[in-house]
Structure 1
Amino acid sequence: MQFQFSELTPSERYHLMVQSVLPRPIAWILTVNDDGSHNLAPYSFFAPVCANPPTMVVSIGQKQPGEDKDTFRNLQRDGRCVVHIASVDWLEALNASSATLAKNESEVSMGNIPLLTDNDGGLPHIDGAPVAYYCRLQQVTDLGPAPQHIVFLEIDKLVVAEGVDYVKGGSTRLSAAAINPLARLGGSEYAALGDIISLARPE
């Protein structure tokens, strides 16, 4: 079967894409609201872009036409965020944080999600999350009539939980099995890591 995307509605295109681009990593993004509370929301249109400068990209839509999501508003105002890679253990909390709440209602407070604050007094990160990237807003490109905000984030710092990092051959490595990342599929489906296949690249 073939699908001509020019003949489909945006909703039809979206559902085909999320049910076929699989699995997708999830950026669980923490930002600070203008009242000092914390917003937390998952995004699966997300990927690393390059290492120099260390950059990630996340696509953020709108709550409804003309109304930006809290994550984007907070990034535009404050410029900072923490991108977590959640383990499978966080499935229920992550899914609950995708609910649409009123401005300044905190998913962190509603979900009783524990936070850790570093000594530098900056943003906190989720206590128990295996991976947390401290990022700052680099640039935004808008696509489409809605628009969809394509947000580039530059990484300042990476925090990994105990047991995630190890040393092999004199180099620090991160264990995919220890991270046990949660992935997004289509509809209401999520996925766990499954089999890990190790295969050296050819010379």
Structure 2
Amino acid sequence: MHIDFEGMAPQNIYHILTQTLIPRPVAWVLSENPDGDYNLAPFSFFTPITSNPPLLMFSVGKKPTDGAFKDTRVNIEQRKRFVVHIAHRELAPAMTETSRTMPHGESELANTDLELTDFEGFELPRLKDCRVAMACELYDIKEIGPTPQTLVFGKILNVYVADEAAKHDDKGRLVFDAAAIDPIGRLGGSEYVTFGEVLKIPRPI
């Protein structure tokens, strides 16, 4: 099947992209609301960008109800700090719950049993049960397209990895156990993929 995007409606293109660009990692982003509690939302248009400086990027659409900017974008633009988590399979239902559209300033955490804990060396907390969390400061915001879609670029200041997923190899290098992190990936529709077989194929020299 050949699919030509020329003249196709954006929502149909989105439907195709989310089923073919798979699996996608999910940025589970915590930001601070105006009254001091926290917004939490998942975004699957997400990737690392550079290591010098250490940057990540995720894409934020608008609220489907009224076309307003989503709280994540507003909070980060105003307060410049946020935390990106990588969820594992047991957290998939809670992560999906936090995708619910809510009035500005209301916290998604109120609808879950998720707990926060101090993020060492950072002013915002992190999710206690996530095995990976990245403390970020806003690096840049770009708007793309007629909607527009917001690209949020974050500079990673430090990273938390659960002890059970971190170790040193026989050369003393720090390595992380992907199976212990057990990340989930986004597919199309309501589907996620869980961690499976690891293929280890050395790169050519």
**Same fold flag (TM > 0.5):** yes
Distance in 1 separating the partners of 2:71 and 2:22 = 26
Contact 2:55 2:153 in 1 (8 A): yes
Match in the other structure for 1:156: 157
Distance apart, 1:109 and its partner CA: 2.2
Per-residue CA deviations over 1:34-58 (Å, capped at 9, x if unaligned) read 0111000000000001100000010
Structure 2: state its 5+ residue gaps.
none
Alignment partner of 1:107 is 2:108: yes
Q: Aligned residue for 1:59? A: 59
Question: 1:70: how far off?
Answer: 0.4
| Alignment coverage as a number of residue pairs | 203
Contact 1:61 1:68 in 2 (8 A): yes
C-alpha deviation, 1:119, in angstroms: 5.2
Indicate the SS of the match to 2:63.
strand
Aligned residues of 2:76 and 2:82 also touching (Cα < 8 A):
yes
Q: What letter corresponds to residue 39 of structure 1 in structure 2?
A: N
Match of 2:167 in 1: 166
Residues 16-43 of structure 1: CA deviation (Å, up to 9, x unaligned): 0000001000000000000111000000
Q: 2:136 touches 2:158 (CA, 8 Å); kept in 1?
A: yes
Q: Sort the Cα spacing of 1:115 and 1:189 in 2 relative to 1 into closer, same or farther, 3 A.
A: same
Q: What is the CA distance between 1:164 and its match in structure 2?
A: 0.9
Write out per-residue CA displacement over residues 78-105 of structure 1, whole angstroms, 9 at most, x where no aligned residue.
0110000001110110011111111111
Query: C-alpha separation between the residues in 2 aligned to 1:121 and 1:142?
Result: 28
TM-score (norm 1): 0.97
Structure 1 stretches of 4+ with a deviation exceeding 4 A read none
**Once superposed, what is the RMSD of the aligned Cα atoms?**
1.1
Q: What SS is found at the alignment partner of 1:6?
A: coil
More strand by percentage: 1
Corresponding residue of 1:29:
29
CA deviations on 1:144-196 (whole Å, 9 max, x unpaired) are: 11100011111001011120100002100011001000110000101101110
TM-score normalised to structure 2 length: 0.96
Q: Which residue of 2 aligns with 1:125?
A: 126
Q: Provide structure 1 residue ranges, at least 5 long, that are not aligned to the other structure.
A: none
- The DSSP-based 3-state class of the residue aligned with 1:112 is coil
Alpha-carbon offset, residue 108 of structure 1: 1.3
Residue 193 (structure 2) aligns with: 191
Maintained 8 Å contact 1:128/1:161? no
Share of identical aligned residues, percent?
A: 38
Deviation at 1:120, TM superposition (A): 4.5
**Residues 1:113 and 1:66: Cα distance change in structure 2 (over 3 Å):** same
Which sits farther off after the overlay, 74-83 or 119-128? 119-128
- The answer to whether the 8 Å contact 1:139/1:152 transfers is yes
1:121 Cα offset (Å): 6.2
Q: CA deviation at 1:112?
A: 2.5
- Partner in structure 1 of residue 10 of structure 2: 10
